[in-house]
Homo-oligomer: A and B are copies of this chain.
Amino acid sequence: MDPSRLAEEFEQVLNVGIALSSVHDLEKLLDLILLEARRLTRADAGTLYLVKGNRLVFRVSQCQSLSDRLGEERMRQMYQSFEMPVSPESIAGYSALTRKVLNLGDVKQIPPEASYHYNSSWDQKAGYDTHSMMVVPMLNRENEVVGVLQLINAMSDGRVIPFRMEHQRLASSLASQAAVAIENAELTEDLKQAHLDTIFRLGVAAEYRDKETANHIKRMSHYCALIARGLGWSDEEVETILWSSLMHDVGKLGIPDSILQKPGRLTPEERKIMELHTNIGGSILKGAKAPVLQKSRIVALTHHEKFDGTGYTRGLKGEKIPLEGRITVLADVFDALSSKRVYKEAMAEAEVLRILTEGRGTHFDPAILDVFLGSLEEARRIQGRYSDREEDFDKLRGLGSTEGEEEDSAAT
């Protein structure tokens, strides 16, 4: 092989590796890995599996010729998630088990003494004709199998040919880079999930002494995300408000029980203290460097402002109220009215909508209210998904005994 061609191909692999390392979203990453592997090896189709325990979990499938024939949408519908054991009976399982590349010129001519055989059910279902196949294990630096790349039908001038050695080399190089990129994306995902979980628990803790349930903050944060999406925010911005609105009431941690849990109406003085929960929240979140916590602080400070300037803590008016505040105030009020609390029943939806509409331009930003009312269908689904059960209202139940803890505890 001539050096300049070799140099060019290596350059490609290097660039693909860099591209993979830059993608932190696992779904997008897996798509890109398969796409680049197919491109480097001129494969018409391919499938990517991840190893979870001793199972191979199907994650992505792509097929150029079928996509051209059926369209992307029909293609997507044809693939269903499935799992299979890491065992020598399947081609992908054999590769995962032996950590070896399998380069099969024609899957219909696998010798009978091989432990694996070709499963033609997919070909039959899709009306596809698989011949050449190359299966490449994705090994991490500890030589553990992270997943398996299955490349199908190498193309040359419109005909299917066996995969060439140079393609096997390229695919193997790509697979090593893919393995580390997958592990990094999973690490990033884990770190983000752990953080989200902590934020959620902080939010729940803040509602602990109050009459709210954990589902209130879940519903409310999803309403906020719904509105943000309706406003055309990016995925990342939507995710940020989903997270940051979880902590809107964190300042309630600083409000005395005597006020927070008072059964009747608050006196004007008590109300003043209660309203301090916005500032206390701001102070708990003060000085945070993480963008999501900075947004949380804005939410905590401004989720009781009203569009006409009659809200608290600062009496900001209209556009002076940060968008996050204008979104959360609506989500919060909607949830307060439409859900059951210990001291009241849920209000009928028509009545809730009447009240919201009455607040158009006074309590709520008209534009945001319109977006929300336009997504009512989805809001109802959120409501259904995170509806409160009776036991959610009895939060401290069982805490007095140590029995419940002992059963499941990791601490014993």
Contacts and interface: CB of A to CB of B under 8 A. Distances in A.
Interface string A17-28: 111011010000
A78 interface: no
A3 B322 CA distance: 61
Contacts of A301: 405, 409, 411
A284 B3 contact: no
A410 interface: yes
Interface string A276-291: 1001101111101110
Interface of A is mostly: helix
A230 interface: no
A253 interface: yes
A173 B11 CA distance: 8
Contacts of A325: 411
B290 A190 contact: yes
Contact of A410 (B298, B314, B399, B411): B298
A383 interface: no
Contact of A205 (B180, B253, B288, B411): B253
A198 B290 contact: yes
Interface string A187-199: 1101111110111
Contacts of A297: 409-411
B293 A198 contact: yes
Number of copies: 2
A165 interface: no
Interface in A335-371: none
Given A6-B6, A290-B194, A180 B21 contact: yes
A404 B409 CA distance: 44
A253 B253 contact: yes
Contacts of A410: 294, 297-298
A176 B254 contact: no
B399 A280 contact: yes
Interface in A167-213: 173, 176-177, 180-181, 183-184, 187-188, 190-195, 197-199, 201-202, 204-206, 208-209
A288 B250 contact: no
A301 B404 CA distance: 12
A215 interface: no
A298 B410 CA distance: 7
A191 B188 contact: yes
Given A13-B14, A198-B290, A205-B205, A192 B193 contact: no
Contacts of A192: 191
Given A188-B191, A279-B402, A202 B209 contact: no
Contacts of A396: 254, 280
A197 B290 contact: yes
**7 A-B pairs closest in CB distance:** A194-B290, A10-B10, A195-B195, A191-B191, A257-B257, A298-B411, A21-B180
16 contacts: A18-B141, A18-B176, A21-B181, A195-B198, A202-B205, A204-B284, A254-B396, A276-B399, A283-B399, A283-B405, A297-B409, A298-B410, A301-B409, A301-B411, A302-B411, A314-B412
Interface of A: 1-3, 6-7, 10, 13-14, 17-19, 21-22, 24, 140-141, 173, 176-177, 180-181, 183-184, 187-188, 190-195, 197-199, 201-202, 204-206, 208-209, 250, 253-254, 256-258, 276, 279-280, 282-286, 288-290, 292-294, 297-298, 301-302, 313-314, 316, 320, 322, 325, 396, 399-400, 402, 405-406, 408-412
